[in-house]
Every structure is written in C-alpha cells, then in structure tokens.
Amino acid sequence: MYQRGFLTSVKIQLIMLHCIFILSSIFSVSVFAANSIDGIRVWPAPENTRIVFDVKNQADYKYFTLSNPERLVIDFTKTKNTVSLQRLADGDPRVKRFRSSESADKTRLVLELSQSYQLTVFPLAPAGQYGNRLVIDLYDKERSQKVTPPPQNNVGDIIIGVVAGHGGEDPGSIGNKGTYEKHVTLAIAKKLQTLINNEKGMKAVMIRTGDYYVNLNRRTSLAREKNVDFLVSIHADAFHTPEPSGASVWVVKKSRAESELAKWLVNREEKSELLGGGGGVIKNTADSNLALTLADMSKEHSLGVSFGVANNVISELRKITKMHKKTPQNGNFAVLKSSDIPSILVETGFISNHAEEKNLTWSTHQQRLADAIHQGIKRHFMDHPLTGSYFASVGYKKHKVRSGESLSVLAERYNISMSELKALNNLKTDSLRIGQTLKIPRTG
C-alpha cells in the first residue's frame, strides 16, 4: 500500500515536471520568436551591394565589424531566422558567405566579406508592398566621388545617358499579370543602348546595367562623370484603373505641373527612396505613383533641347504605338537636382493596362520602342548638332524650296540621289511646294 502510494506520488510529480517543462519551453520559444527574419535579398551593383532583411516586426539589432578576415556581424534580439543562407552570396563580389548562430535570446548573422567596405545600416518602416526591413549597404571604398563638369563643346561622339527606371528593391509599377516595370525598362534601355552604339557619332552610357537600384543623387554624379550630353529615362506608366493607355514624353519645367496626370507624380521620389527604393504601383492597390526620373534643368538652353528631342521622339513613337499625350508633358520634378543636362522621360505605355502590359513584355514591341526613341534623339542632334561633334560635320543642313526648284534639281545640286533625298525627308512623292524645308546631308 505504501509502495503503491509512493509510486503514484512520483508519477504525479513527474507529470507536473513534464508539464512545467513543456510550458516553459513554449514560453521561451514564444519569447525567442517574438520576431523573425522572413526574407533576405541581395542586390549586387557595380559600386555597392545592398542586403535587405525582411523582418516580421521592427528589428531590434546591433552590429559590428571584424578584421582579418573581414566580417560584418549583426545580432537580432529575440528574433528567429527562417531563411536558408546557403546560396545567398552566389554571384555577389562583396559577400563571400552568410552564416548564423542562435542563442537563448538572439540570432547572430555573420557576413564574410571579400574586403573592407564603406558601411551603411538602417531600418525601414513598412511602405508599399514591403513590411519592416533592415537594410545594409556595402560601398566600394575606391568608387569615384569626383564630379567632372562636362566640356562646353563635346568633341566626337554625342554621349547619351540611358536610365532604366527603378531596379533592385524598387520594382516600379507592377502589372495585373505580375510584370515588373524595372524589368521592362531595363530590356528597352539595353536595346536602345545597342542602337545608339551602332550609330556613328553617338555613344550610350547606361546608368543602370542590371537589377539593382541606383540612388537618385548618384544618377546625377554618374551622368556628369561620363560627360553625358543628353539623358533619356525609360519608364512605364500606371494608374489605379486599367483604362488609360498610350505612351507619353515628359520634360522638366520650373513651374507647377500642369496636367492631372502629373499630380500623381508628386510623391514618387520620396516613396521610391523610402523603399530603397520601391514606391511602385502594386497591383490591386489604389496607389498610382507614376515613374518620373528627370533632370532639374536650370538653363533655358537645356529646356529647349529637351523639348526639341521630346517632340522628335513623340513624332517617332506615334508611328508604332498609341500616344496618351501628343505633346511633351511637363512637371516640376528634381530627381537629378541642380543638373543642366537636357533630359526627357519616356513613358512607354501603361503597365496597368492589360493590353499594353502584354505589349511591354514583347521583345518585338520593346525593340520598336527603342528604335523610335533612338530615331527621335538622332533626328534632333542631326538637325542641331553639337559643336565639334561628328554630327556637326556630316549632319543635315536646311534648304527652303524656292520657285522653279524640283527634287531632281536639288538632288543634282547637292550631289545626292533623289531616292536618298526622299527617304531623308520622308517624302512619298516627287512633288515639292514653295517654302517647304528640306534636310540636306552635310558632306564635311
């Protein structure tokens, strides 16, 4: 009887201890897992690598660096990592390896680095499609900080800066089928780059060459370092309803934005930076920030060049796609602040429109858009070549048709075939009218 009671008592104590252990385990896990790392994204760029940690709640963290070998250590308090680290560093030139360890109250992440880098670490609050994040930027210490003013007269090639809108953490607008604006803009920009580089007398400089984000101010520096003569930014429009469609071309004007559509652009720059920047339109939301990355042109000459190119690009675009606006649009935006580089922004279509979203992902249509932009830019600089450029020696001069002049007479006078003269001036017939202005090739 005593033995049985003793055993019963022992069993009860064991059960109670087991329950206490389970409860304490549940409590400790719940405390430890008060936060979690739910995603890690690595964005390599030519001058830096951005690492973004998606955390369930606001991150409680500390970090420090170690040398020989170079490491960055981040301690997340009461946070559990749910992300596989095995392949995160693949393809990145700065981070060789991610590894982690866990203790009772924290998760430690160690980034093994290729060398020492300029480091920036900052949290970001929820914005757009993103929740809480911790962002780490590793910048090459030897990256150029020098800003070289462009020469007054560019000799040789006319240098065209090509900006593919968005990139990396900033997807831009997202179509109903899940198309990211950043992918569309880069595809068109690369096609435009090829066309420009194949054009004697022109050279393309890509501001973004891959899927990474270029800081807005850095775009200015890169353009100036490359002595860019003209900057064209490629984007895709969006609206909170799918009805609007068509392309448009924007220039900067130092006055209030004049169209209703332009008013949607006001917070674009700020939100893009907040997302590091991903302030794009996300499908199924009412947010319709349009893309606009333009230079703040402070000189009348710069604005004049921008309008000239814009009109020529519109003339070419309307041959291959519907135009949402048939004249250059303007707004007071200063992404490339205090820059006197003439610039346009081309909205290639509405990614929020179902038909245009499909077109914008079609390589043939992308090529047509790139060709139209290229031809528009080329036409302006052939008509108004920069002093000392190749175009200035082999470009066009103007001839106003006078009484008694015919196509054959002018062709013979300027030593050019009639077919070439017709093609150059988009003439459908041999007829000319008095006062008509013709382009005549310069021969040197």
Higher pLDDT, 98 or 398: 98
For residue 220, is pLDDT > 70? yes
Task: Compute how many other C-beta atoms are within 10 angstroms of the C-beta atom of residue 414.
Answer: 16
Question: What is the residue extent of each domain of the chain?
Answer: 35-139, 158-383, 395-441
CA distance 224 to 322: 34
Q: Domain 158-383 is in which class? A: alpha beta
- Start-to-end CA span in the chain (Å): 121
pLDDT per position as a tens digit, 115-128:
999 999 999 888 77
Decide: 393 and 212 in contact? Cβ < 8 Å.
no
Q: Are 196 and 203 in contact (CB under 8 A)?
A: yes
Amino acid 34 reads A
pLDDT value at 83 more than 70: yes
pLDDT tens digits, one per residue of 318-363: 999 999 989 988 755 444 344 568 888 899 999 999 999 999 999 9
* Pick from 295, 251, 269, 247: nearest CA to 172: 269
Q: Which helix (H) or strand (E) holds 112?
A: strand 106-113
Answer yes or no: CATH 2.60.40.3500 is held by domain 35-139. yes
Residue 275: the pLDDT is: 53
Helix (H) or strand (E) holding 262: helix 260-263
The pTM score is 0.73
Higher pLDDT, 218 or 150: 218
Give the rounded percent of residues in the chain with a pLDDT score beyond 90.
46
**Are the folds of 35-139 and 395-441 the same?**
no
Q: CB within 8 A of 164, min separation 6: which ones?
A: 182, 185, 186, 188, 189, 190, 206, 207, 208, 234
Q: Give the CATH fold of the 395-441 domain.
A: Membrane-bound Lytic Murein Transglycosylase D; Chain A (3.10.350)
